Structures are given as C-alpha cells and as structure tokens.
Amino acid sequence: MLKRVLEQLRPAEAASLGPGDDCAVLTSTGDLVVTSDTMIEGPDFRLAWHSGYELGWKLAATNLSDVASMGARATALTVSFACPSDTPVELLAEVSRGLDAACAELAPGCGVIGGDLSRAPMLFAAVTAMGDLEGRAPVTRSAARAGDVVAYAGDLGLAGLGLSLLFANCADANGEAQSAGLAELRSQHGAALSAQFAPSPPIHLGVAASEAGATAMMDVSDGLALDANRMARASNVTLELSSSEIIRSFGAQRGVKVPLEAILEGGEDHGLLACFPKDIELPTGFHPIGAVRERQDAPVQVDGKSYAPRGWDPYTEYTPGLTTSKERA
C-alpha cells in the first residue's frame, strides 16, 4: 500500500533525502516555519461528497496557506493516514495524486517527503507543512499597526456557499452526507463546490506580501470575521472593515454572487488576510477591505459597528447561517 501511495508523489526540491528512510533531510537557506493540521472523516470531510483527489488537494492547500501566511516559501509536507482495513488502496492513491497536483500548481518545488500509515475506524489524515523564510523575518498576526490598510487575497465566501449547498441538497434530515444529487449540484454550482472541495489559495502571494512590507498576515480558514478578530486581539488593535470595499472586490467571484454574510462568516477559502503600511502599493492580487484603528471596544467593526466574531469554531460547533447542519465538512 505504501509503495502505491509513494508512486504518486514527486520529490520535494528542498529534500536531499526523501521517503524511504527513518527521516527525510531538508536543505534550508533561512529559518524554517512548521505547521500541522488534521482532517477527520465526518467533521472535516465526507467521502460521499469528496473524491479522493479533491481530498488530497484540500489537505495540501489548507496547510500550504498557513506556510504562506508567515511569508515563507513552502518546501515540504509530511502526510500520515489512518483508515479502516477495508479502505481501497486506489482511494489512498487518488488522495496522493491530489496532494501532488496541489503542490505542483500552488507551490512548485514543494512535495511530500514522508509520513505514516495506520488503522482507524474512519479515514484520518494528519499533515505537517514546512516552509523556508529565506532570510526574511516571519510575518505574524500580532504586528498590525493603527493606520495600516487591511487587505485580502483569494476567494472569500465561496467555500461556505458550497458547503451550504451541499447540506441543503445532498444531506438527509440529520445532516448525514448523501451522494444523491451531487452530480447535478456540481454542474449547477461548480465554482462554489470547487472552492469547498479543492480550494486554490494564492500561496505565492505570501512571499510577495512579505517582500512588500506586510506588517501582519494570517490564513483565513474559519471565516473573515472570526479570523480578523483573532488578528485584532493579537495585535491589540481594531480592524475596521468596509462593506462597500468588500462587496466591490468579493461580491461576485467566478461568476457567483456572494452575499456579505457569506463573505464575513463562511470559512475554508484559505485566502490571505494582511495589513500593509498605507503608503505602499499593494501586491497584485490583494484588495483593500478596511483599515487598522487604535483599539476600540470591539476588535472587529464593519462600517463603524461592532461585528461579532462568527465563523467556524470546532469547540462551540458554531455554524454560520449559511448551512442547515451543526457540522462542517
């Protein structure tokens, strides 16, 4: 099984020793950044909806965006799977092909350098991603400054719309995923479902933002309002968002009209939220959506009014008013 999985993966350019030994060996020109994430069948994805290829793509994209948000160049991933003993080998091979394709398209030169296989009652994947700062300082979420421009790059709200469509059309009364109707839904709402199943965040813009002088940056995985709240609290400032600027840049994406609520509260687009000094030109791909203010009563305001930090939170099982289920997929 492991041999079949590894056959789908090309080597990482930064690896002087790849899969096959007890450890891989990476070459770096600067400080390394490291992040990890897990995805579990049920709360994070549904095999009735996701193809193996899409799942592999999503595993890579969601971790590459974290590396990009630090201003680093993604270099390598380790991926571990645990699954039921009757899982078809071809499913894991498809996941590996998706992982490889996402690395090749989103972060050329990055690749899987190792991992592990084990058994579990359901499919479980754990990914560790590494990146090279190449001599640059890391861009954290805690250094936004009053007067900065707040900007965003990537899709925003599309993935949440895709999830709401899935629960409304391809789930039973208990929110359990069903494959019935999925093909028709894909044909009618391909852009929103693609954003949910296989997000394509602008990974290359992490380095561009760092080089342009970004003061703070983070990956938006849990919704703009919730993640902006996290950045504002970490930086001890208020992020003042403009609904008109947001709608101007993100009200229509890939031919889909996206309402303001979906933009603010829908998660899993994995784009980049960043703050820049107001006197610099934003890197191409970033759109201004507000400004950083001295700390007010609320960490996040929209058009001068406090906005609650709503979005995806695995501990409170909060779901935006976009879906009909308390679970995320």
Q: Which residues are annotated as a binding site?
A: 22, 35-37, 44, 66, 115-116, 141, 219, 221-222, 268, 312
d(CA 44, CA 327) in angstroms, rounded, equals 8
d(CA 68, CA 77) in angstroms, rounded, equals 13
- Which residue numbers belong to the known binding site for Mg(2+)? 22, 35-37, 66, 116, 219, 222
Q: 103, 61 in Cβ contact below 8 A?
A: no
- Which residue numbers belong to the known binding site for substrate? 44, 268, 312
Task: Express the helix, strand and coil content of the chain in percent, nearest 5 each.
Answer: 30, 25, 40
Helix, strand or coil, per DSSP, at residue 325: coil
- With a CB cutoff of 8 Å and minimum separation 6, the contacts of 279 are none
Q: What is the CA radius of gyration of the chain?
A: 20
Angle, helix 190-197 to helix 52-69, in steps of 10 degrees: 70
- Which residue numbers belong to the known binding site for ATP? 115-116, 141, 221
- What is the signed CA dihedral for 315, 321, 323, 329, rounded to 10 degrees? -30
Q: 133, 263 in Cβ contact below 8 A?
A: no
- In the chain the beta strands, taken as DSSP E runs, fall at 15-17, 25-26, 32-40, 73-83, 111-119, 124-132, 149-153, 216-220, 237-241, 252-253, 256-257, 271-276, 287-294, 300-302, 305-306
